Structures are given as C-alpha cells and as structure tokens.
C-alpha cells in the first residue's frame, strides 16, 4: 500500500514539474517585444505572418484558405496574429482558427491596451487595417499584402523562396 501511495505521489509531482505542453489552439499574448520574438524564432525560414480579426468580414473568408495553404505547405511557418481592436475575444478567435484549420499555427492575440505601440513595432506606417499579411523571406526581406492575400500570390512567393534554396 505504501509503495502504491508513493508511486502515485511521485507521478503527481512529476506531472506538476513537467513543462506544460503548448496546446495547438493556444493564443499567446502579443505584447511589447513580441514582434522581435516572432522575427527571432523564425529567422532563416520562409514565414507567413497574418494579421486578422474576429470582427473582420474578409478575414472570415480568408482564414480557411490560409488553413489549406498551411496544410499544403509545411515548409512555411505560419503565424496568425489577432489584431482586433475592440472587442478582443479570445474564445471566438480560438474557435475561428480551429474551424479554419489554423489551430496548430503559431497563434497570437493583441494583449496590450496600447495597440498603436504594437502596430508601430511591426511597421511604423501601419494604421491597423486588417487583413494584412507579411511574407518574410529566408533572408529577412518582407513583402506586405494589404487586404486579403490571394493564394496564387502566396504560391508565387513560395516558389521564389524555393528557387533561392537551389
């Protein structure tokens, strides 16, 4: 009986000490400095960063297309950043991402009351319009797409990325 009790205690302590696994639909808080973290963690890899929002009509149409693009192109890092100003709805954002097939992407949610500062860190000229997509090449070059991103344009960019690798 003592051995069984000790085994249970050991198991519980081990589980409590283990780092929590990141759930696919986790929304990381996007705060001051998060943009530099995104750039650092994806340096040298083709990365699609998409700014969207729960209240954005074109985003609702575009998200499933981006989900399919992510599924078809695992060589591209996909970062989704919910940049809704008001309201900031984490539950609705998670649900939309899951439904669109983007639950396993790297997902962020603007979490700073001073959103202008967040936008300025990303691009000083950005006024907050969404959807907005940044295509970051392996060499760090950024291509900005204002409004909805067209899948043929994403495919063309990706082909250029693959050509650079040859």
Beta bridge partners of 82: 52, 109
- Within the chain, where are the H helices? 2-17, 34-41, 57-72, 90-99, 115-122, 151-165
Class of residue 21 by CB neighbours under 10 A (exposed 0-12, middle 13-18, buried 19+): exposed
pLDDT grade for 53, boundaries at 50, 70 and 90: very high
- Bridge pairing between strands 106-110 and 28-30: parallel
d(CA 118, CA 32): 6
The least confident of 18-27, 61-70, 139-148, 153-162 is 18-27
- What integer is the mean pLDDT of 89-112? 94
- What integer is the mean pLDDT of 113-132? 93
- What integer is the mean pLDDT of 140-162? 94
- The encoded tokens of residue 123 equal 């691009």
d(CA 78, CA 105): 6
Asked if residues 106 and 78 have their Cβ atoms less than 8 Å apart, the reply is yes
Distances in Å between the Cα of 103 and the Cα atoms of 9, 13, 53, 69, 70 are: 34, 30, 15, 13, 11
CATH 3.30.420.40 fits 22-165, yes or no: no
The domains of the chain are located at 22-165
Max intra-chain CA distance, the chain: 67
- Bridge pairing between strands 142-146 and 132-136: antiparallel
Residue entry with tokens 């295509």 = 135
pLDDT grade for 12, boundaries at 50, 70 and 90: very low
Residue 81 has pLDDT above 90, yes or no: yes
Is the Cα torsion angle 123, 79, 48, 53 positive or negative in sign?
Answer: negative
- What integer is the mean pLDDT of 75-94? 89
The least confident of 51-60, 83-92, 117-126, 130-139 is 83-92
- The encoded tokens of residue 72 equal 């078809």
How many degrees, rounded to 5, is the angle at CA 92 between CA 89 and CA 94?
A: 105
């Amino acid at each position: 009986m003592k051995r069984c009790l000790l085994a249970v205690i050991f198991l519980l302590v081990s589980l409590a000490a283990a780092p929590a696994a990141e759930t696919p639909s986790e929304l990381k808080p996007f705060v001051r400095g998060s943009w530099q973290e995104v750039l650092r963690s994806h340096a040298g890899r083709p990365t699609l960063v998409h700014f969207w929002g729960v209240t954005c009509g074109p985003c609702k149409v575009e998200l499933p297309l981006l989900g399919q693009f992510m599924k078809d192109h695992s060589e591209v890092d996909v970062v989704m950043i919910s940049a809704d100003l008001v309201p900031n709805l984490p539950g609705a954002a998670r649900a939309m991402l899951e439904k669109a097939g983007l639950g396993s992407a790297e997902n962020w949610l603007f979490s700073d009351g001073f959103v202008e500062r967040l936008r300025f860190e990303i691009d000083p000229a950005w006024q907050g319009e969404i959807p907005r997509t940044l295509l970051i090449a392996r060499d760090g070059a950024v291509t900005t797409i204002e409004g909805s991103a067209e899948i043929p344009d994403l495919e063309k960019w990706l082909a250029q990325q693959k050509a650079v690798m040859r």
